[in-house]
Amino acid sequence: MKDAQRQAYWKANIKLVTILLAIWFVVSYGFGILLKEQLDAIQFFGFKLGFWWAQQGSIYVFLILIAVYATMMNKLDREYDVHED
């Protein structure tokens, strides 16, 4: 892999990680802490949404983020021909 390709691959990797970390921050800190009071006004499966989101919803989002990261990195690896197939 050439140096320019290596830098482009790393830049794409950092961009993906930054986006996913931003989503993670908003979901965990924003919804779970900062917006809890507003979300508690909504009922979800018999629970206040703020409580449910802090306890369960954020975990589901984290699992989705893991799957998205794995999928996007596999795609990126194939694009830059560094896949392990």
| Predicted confidence (pLDDT) per residue in 37-61, tens digit | 898 899 878 888 888 888 888 899 9
Q: What are phi and psi of 72, to 5 degrees?
A: -70, -35
Mean pLDDT (whole number) for 58-77: 95
Average pLDDT, the chain: 91
This prediction has a pTM of 0.81
- Kindly indicate the confidence band of residue 19, based on its pLDDT and cuts at 50, 70 and 90: very high
